Copies of this chain bind each other. A is one copy, B any other.
Amino acid sequence: MSKIAVVFHSGYGHTQRMAEAVAAGAGSVASTELIAIDAEGNITDAAWATLAGADAIVMGSPTYMGSVSWQFKKFADASSKIWFGMGWKDKVAAGFTNSASMNGDKHSTLHYLFTLSQQHGMLWVGTGMMPANSKAAERDALNYLGSSAGAMAQTPSDAGVNEMLTGDLETAKQFGVRVASMAARLNK
């Protein structure tokens, strides 16, 4: 059975809920573990060990001021120790983000997560989903935002964690299924 690690930072709980949806999807086909980066940008030694043993690492962060949160970036910078030995080479990588605007700079966040994954020599997998963008498309459709490089959620600036959009969370879940399936395919 493949092992999936979902490592994320969440400032107010929205990205955490999204991470849980990704993990729920991945968990349906693989052994899956959630790793929360704390408010100081740190994770435990046990979490680093989990990442070392994972077949796929899914990275998540809110989009703050045009990219990942500084706490996520601190985690990324700390991963330079692993990079020196190419410790994550050939693992599957994927990414997701939440922000308040429909567009905003979520694409920038996903492109950063991709850039990080490439330094580590990982294989990137995106949503593989067509967008829901016809006139009849409803806000709760799968991939309503139309993202390819990774999963996106949009939660209004004044909406609580329990007000996140059902479609975005289901998109995150299906994305988790896809990442875990790809890890299984690579490791059979």
Point out residues on A near B: beta carbons under 8 Å. 41, 64-71, 73-74, 76-77, 79-80, 83, 86, 89-90, 100-108, 111-112, 114-116, 118-119, 121, 123-131, 133-135, 137, 144-149, 152, 154, 156-159, 163, 182, 185-186, 188
Report yes or no: B133 in contact with A156, Cβ–Cβ below 8 A: yes
Decide yes or no: A66 and B128 within 8 Å by CB, A107-B105, A159-B135 being known contacts: no
From A149, which residue of chain B is reached at the shortest CB distance?
B118
Which residues of B sit under 8 angstroms from A100, Cβ to Cβ? 131, 133, 146
Q: How many Å from the CB of A35 to the closest CB on chain B?
A: 17
Distance of A111 Cα from B113 Cα, bound (Å): 12
From A112, which residue of chain B is reached at the shortest CB distance?
B67
Report yes or no: B80 in contact with A64, Cβ–Cβ below 8 A: yes
**How many copies of this protein are present in the complex?**
4
Decide yes or no: A76 and B65 within 8 Å by CB, A121-B126, A137-B156, A152-B103 being known contacts: yes
From A101, which residue of chain B is reached at the shortest CB distance?
B146
Q: How many Å from the CB of A139 to the closest CB on chain B?
A: 9
